[in-house]
Structure 1
């Protein structure tokens, strides 16, 4: 698939030509890369197409999806471009691969978490579920976008209680915001910093398995 965004794909070894499959779109955090996300979902590749997307901006030894104007506030134009590119990426992937369009999921950590929630809120019923690890919902969404209904949406939010990068309260606020919009939210807190613990990984894998079996 041609795309301005670099990505890697994991998929079932044997594709049944009579079937379509769920799809999971992975987005990493600032300064990381697409390879960093696959260990979180190892074991799911035989059940779904997994696209791990690299941020388009060089950031140290890794990459980012957007830059920051100030703490908790992305640069507006950069954020909008990244969200637009990701939206197009999802549309292109669902057209070019045997994907069940009713079973699209986004999973992200930190910046990727912010974008996962943003995609759900701007794409509405295109997205069935999201996993948002240590992120927040930026104000730019309510300022610049029409928030779509998400009463169909299933959400797994997790946040470290000792997160020194993005405050724990921001995760709580994201939970409350999505619940007010009638999304089905499962919130998980862990005695960790800005990271994904083993228990967190086990919990999110169980949650994804439950969603794709429904």
Structure 2
């Protein structure tokens, strides 16, 4: 499988705090959806546990006025998904934090989960918002199922973008491979609600507390 990864450049990363305030604090990596950019989710910083440092990474592929992690057309190959995940992993591995979580929205969630599947011991927990897992086996799946890291999965029951069979498959996969906290929000489309943010904050507080 061809490795087409593009290293994450410093200008692709938007931090929630300056470098002088990051040492010794838990890290949460944010991966945006298709056609979005690294500004996604950073406005939530004040609603999440204050101990967390957020690092939002911009995807490598220009998509309209935003970016993506892989194309959504006939040119898509599994190697593109894997390469984007490995580029994120390369970046994460050189960071120095007492704990690391990874959060993805929509397409970004497939990359977040792919990162956890490729490197089962790298992340303390994961978050999937309006998202999905790539429906192919990954070599690290068995090790991830053995470890079963905590994962929060939230989505709306009125989401028109993620096909129901993919939602069903993802829910089943998460239940088998992670310690899953799953929430479905009535009437919510392909976005995030105040109730979901509150549930996410509670989940993150638990993870920060466990990290000590």
Query: Does the CA-based 8 Å contact 1:65-1:79 persist in structure 2?
Result: yes
Aligned counterparts of 2:105 and 2:54: Cα–Cα separation in 1: 15
Aligned counterparts of 1:146 and 1:152: Cα–Cα separation in 2: 12
Aligned counterparts of 2:49 and 2:15: Cα–Cα separation in 1: 9
1:52 aligns with 2:56: yes
Aligned counterparts of 2:8 and 2:19: Cα–Cα separation in 1: 23
TM-score normalised by L of structure 2: 0.84
- Tell me, what secondary structure is at the counterpart of 1:108? strand
Query: How large is the Cα RMSD of the aligned pairs?
Result: 2.4
Q: Which stretch of the first structure deviates more once superposed, 44-53 or 129-138?
A: 44-53
Deviation at 1:11, TM superposition (A): 3.1
The counterpart of 1:67, out of the listed 49, 68, 71, is: 71
Off by >6 Å, runs of 4+ in structure 1:
none
The size of the alignment, in residue pairs, is 200
- Tell me, what secondary structure is at the counterpart of 1:66? coil
Which residues of 2 match residues 117-132 of structure 1 at below 5 A?
A: 117-132=113-128
The counterpart of 2:139, out of the listed 140, 145, 151, is: 145
1:185 aligns with 2:180: yes
Per-residue displacement from partner, 1:43-77 (whole Å, max 9, x unpaired)? 4474122100001111011111111245xx95323
- Which residue in 1 is equivalent to 2:13? 7
Aligned counterparts of 2:51 and 2:153: Cα–Cα separation in 1: 22
TM-score normalised by L of structure 1: 0.83
Per-residue displacement from partner, 1:122-174 (whole Å, max 9, x unpaired)? 2112211111001111124x1x5342324340010011111111135533432
Query: Does the CA-based 8 Å contact 2:135-2:169 persist in structure 1?
Result: no
Compared CA separation, residues 206 and 169, structure 1 to 2 (3 A) = farther
- Tell me, what secondary structure is at the counterpart of 1:42? helix
Deviation at 1:197, TM superposition (A): 1.0
Compared CA separation, residues 16 and 35, structure 1 to 2 (3 A) = closer
Aligned counterparts of 2:92 and 2:48: Cα–Cα separation in 1: 19
- Which residue in 1 is equivalent to 2:151? 155
Where structure 1 has 5 or more consecutive residues not aligned to the other structure, the ranges are none
